[in-house]
Amino acid sequence: MKEDHIKNKIENTINSIEFIEEVQASPFLKNKILNSINQEQESQHTVSSWLTPKLQLAALAIFVAINIAVFLKISEQQYSTEVDSFAAAYELTPESEETLFE
């Protein structure tokens, strides 16, 4: 008896789907959406208006030029001199090594 009652309840609950009606969206929804889309468009526009492809290309060219210049300027010799002076400053050279057993 109790089992049947529960079965009925389950069936009715699942069948309650059939009674769900289609509803209409609020008349203000369209305006809300259009406003959000306008804001989105404006934010895209403000970025794209000053960051033109020409400017992007120029920025890229400057970046590459600076990198090439720095690469050519720093020779390998200079690099090893800098490494040596760094090692000397921090007493990392083999001469400056001390052990407790000496």
Partner 1 sequence: MIDQDFIEALKKGKRHAYEELIDRFQDMVFNKCLSFVPNKEDAEDIAQEIFIEVFRSIKHFKGQAKLTTWIYRITTNKCLEFIRKKNTKKRFAFFQLVLGTQHPVDKVSYFTEFNHPGVQLEQKEQSEHLFKAINQLPENQKVVFTLHKIDGLSYKEVSEITQKSISSVESLMFRAKKNLQLQLEQYYKNES
Binding site for partner 1 (CB under 8 A): 2, 5-6, 9-10, 12-14, 16-17, 19-26, 29-30, 32-34, 36-37, 40-41
Report yes or no: 56 and 50 within 8 Å, Cβ to Cβ.
no
Cα–Cα distance measured from residue 101 to residue 41, given in angstroms and rounded to the nearest whole number: 74
Cα–Cα distance measured from residue 68 to residue 76, given in angstroms and rounded to the nearest whole number: 15
Torsional sign, CA 39, 42, 47, 48: positive
Q: Taking the complex as a whole, how short is the minimal distance between the CB of residue 34 and partner 1, in angstroms?
A: 7
Query: Both tokens of residue 88?
Result: 């000397």
Which residue lies nearer to partner 1 by CB, 48 or 67? 48
Q: Taking the complex as a whole, how short is the minimal distance between the CB of residue 28 and partner 1, in angstroms?
A: 9
Q: Taking the complex as a whole, how short is the minimal distance between the CB of residue 46 and partner 1, in angstroms?
A: 15
Which residue lies nearer to partner 1 by CB, 47 or 89? 47
